Structure 1
Amino acid sequence: MEEAETQPEEDVVFEEEEATPRVSFNATQNVTESVAISNGSRLEEAEPQSYWLDPTEISPADKDEEFVNALVSEYEDSNEPGSAMAVPAEVPVLPTRLPPVLLELRWLPPRPPTSYDGFNVYIYRDGNSTEMATVDENTHEFFTELTEPGTYRVQVTTLSSSGDCEARESSADTGFTFYLSPSGELLEELRERPQGVSVRLLDSSTAAVSWAPSPQSHNGSLVSVVSTTCLKPSLSQRMENTYCSEENSTSDIISNLTPGAQYRVVVYHTNGPLTSPPSEPVIIDIEPTGVRELAVYPLGPTAVVLSWQRPYHVAFRKYILQTFFFNPVTLASEWTTYYEIAATASVIATVRVTDLLPAWYYNFRVSMVTWGDPPLTCCDSSTVSFVTAPEAPHISLVDYSQGVLVVRWTYGELFIDLSHSRMLHWQVEAVGKKGPQRRYSVDVTRNAMQASLPLPPGDIYNLTVTACTERSRNTSVPSIIKLEPAPPRLLLAVNATHSSITLLWSEDGVVDYYQVLCRPNWASKELKAGEPITSTAQVLTVSGLVPSSSYNCSVTSFSYSSASRPARITVTTAAKEMNPSVAAISALAVLSLLLISLLVLFLLVLRKKHLEMTRNCSAETFVNFASFDRDGKLPYNWRRSLFAFLTLLPSCLWTDYLLAFYINPW
Structure 2
Amino acid sequence: MGHLPASTRCGRRLLPLLGLFVLLKNATTLHVTVQDDNSIAVSLEASDVTSPSSVYVVKITGESKSYFFEFEQFNSTLPPPVIFKASYHGLYYIITLVVVNGHAVTKPSRSITVLTKPLPVTSVSIYDYKPSPETGVLFEIHYPEKYNVFTRVNISYWEGKDFRTMLYKDFFKGKTVFNHWLPGICYSNITFQLVSEATFNKSTLVEYSGVSHEPKQHRTAPYPPRNISVRIINLNKNNWEEESGSFPEDSFLRPQDTTGRDKLLGFTDETPDTPSGNFSSGWPDVNSSDYETTPQPYWWDSVSATPEGEDGFARVLPLGYENVTLSETEKPTSGSSSSFPMQMILSWLPPKPPTAFDGFHIHIEREENFTEHLTVAEEAQEFVTELKEPGKYKLSVTTFSSSGSCETRKSQSAKSLSFYISPSGEWIEELTEKPQHVSVHVLSSTTALMSWTSSQENYNGTIVSVVSLTCQKQKESQRLEKQYCSQVNSSKSVIENLVPGAQYQVVMYLRKGPLIGPPSDPVTFAIVPTGIKDLMLYPLGPTAVVLSWTRPYLGVFRKYVVEMFYFNPATMTSEWTTYYEIAATASLTASVVIFP
Alignment TM-score, normalising by the size of structure 2: 0.47
Q: Which one has more relative contact order, counting CA pairs under 8 Å at least 6 apart?
A: 2
More helix by proportion, 1 or 2?
1
Alignment TM-score, normalising by the size of structure 1: 0.43
